[in-house]
Amino acid sequence: MKKLSRQEKHEQCTREIKGTLIVTLICCIWHISTAFLLSGKNLYFLGMPAWFSVSVLGTIILALAGVVYLLKFVFIDFEYDDEEEDE
């Protein structure tokens, strides 16, 4: 577990928030764009309309990949307590 100053903790929290929002935005764009792009087609995948299958399954895959990326490269383990350091 890392020891960070108050400013470093704030910067890390901001970095984690931005990363999470970017992954969420990518998932939303994928979900909405594939649903609209494939909605008029008579294509079927897994017994359902292609727009639904590709949109939902793609979003799940993107979300899982985004979480793995965030956990490996963005999030770090630190304590977020407001205890005063005596050092």
Q: Is residue 66 part of a domain?
A: yes
Q: Is residue 84 part of a domain?
A: no
What is the average pLDDT across 57-83?
92
Model confidence over 35-66: pLDDT tens digits? 999 988 899 988 999 999 999 999 999 999 99
Q: Is residue 83 part of a domain?
A: no
Does the pLDDT at position 85 exceed 60? Answer: no
Q: Count how many domains the chain has.
A: 1
Q: Is residue 80 part of a domain?
A: no
Q: Which domain holds residue 25?
A: 20-74
pLDDT at position 84, please? 56
Q: Taking the alpha carbons of 51, 18, 4, 80 in that order, is the dihedral positive or negative?
A: negative
Nearest to 71 by CA among 11, 29, 20: 20
Phi-psi region of 64 (alpha: psi -120 to 50; beta: other; left: phi over 0): alpha
- Note the pTM of the prediction, 2 decimals: 0.84
